[in-house]
Amino acid sequence: MGYPNDFIEMLNRCKQQPDFIIGGGNPDSKILFVGKEPTDDAEGYNTLEHYRENLMQGKVDNWARYRDQEENHFKKQGKELPNYWNKTQSLWSRYQTLCDYIYPERKKNRKEIFDFEEIVFCSEMNGSPSKYTANAPKGTINSRKSFFKDPYFSRFNVILLACGNYINNNSSKPEEREIDNIFDVKFATNECPNPREYGSKANSFWIHYNESKTRLVIHTRNLSNGVPNKMLKDMGLLIRDFLDKLPQ
């Protein structure tokens, strides 16, 4: 797998920010997952400088095998793997479950616990790593919103904003509707589920499309805990159906 040109151009535009966290996964995917912030210091080495070094050395597979890099990183330091490596109770497990609903044919042949990083690209709305969201510095969020306006991100047909109140689309003033303006979409008023379906007001998701319906943006809470499987299934089937209907 090689790097797509628009991804390389995005890296070059960020070159003045050597510690800028980009994310991990497949940069040539149709799907982007955006969480709240990196957990603890796990992605502290996962920076623009690190990726540019890999690019210069021709290590084109490293993005889609980010999990292997992280495992080696902890082993070299003699540390135990962090909690989010837990097989069933972690953000990664929920990302995997969501991908299993989107691409069920992959699940049948999967040999590893996680392979979602091979079919999606993952990033964060906050660039400041923290073990707990409540303690996370929030000073980078506005600059991260500007980052997602980069032309590279217009390549994604599906964007899952699993970052809760880190981004706001509630204003009646068009210029203040962040999701609409950053991702060039409009809120689909009549297509969103009732939170009662998922047992809590905190559990729901909001649907947006661009004018040509070639981009779907889903805004929801962080998926790290307390998310019912039915909600993951409904989001996954929505994404699958959307991708199936895209022009080939």
Number of domains in the chain: 1
What is the average per-residue pLDDT within 28-54? 70
d(CA 130, CA 147): 20
In this model, does residue 83 exceed pLDDT 80? no
Domain enclosing residue 233, as ranges = 5-245
CATH code assigned at 153: 3.40.470.10
CA dist 213 → 19, 29, 64, 216 (Å): 35, 18, 28, 7
pTM of the predicted structure, to 2 decimals = 0.86
Q: Characterise 164 by phi-psi region: left (phi > 0), alpha (psi -120 to 50), beta (else).
A: left
Contact 96, 113 (CB under 8 A): yes
Residue 150 has pLDDT above 60, yes or no: yes
Mean pLDDT for 18-38 is 85
Contact 121, 26 (CB under 8 A): yes
Tell me what pLDDT residue 137 has.
Answer: 87
What are 207's strand-pairing partners?
Answer: 218
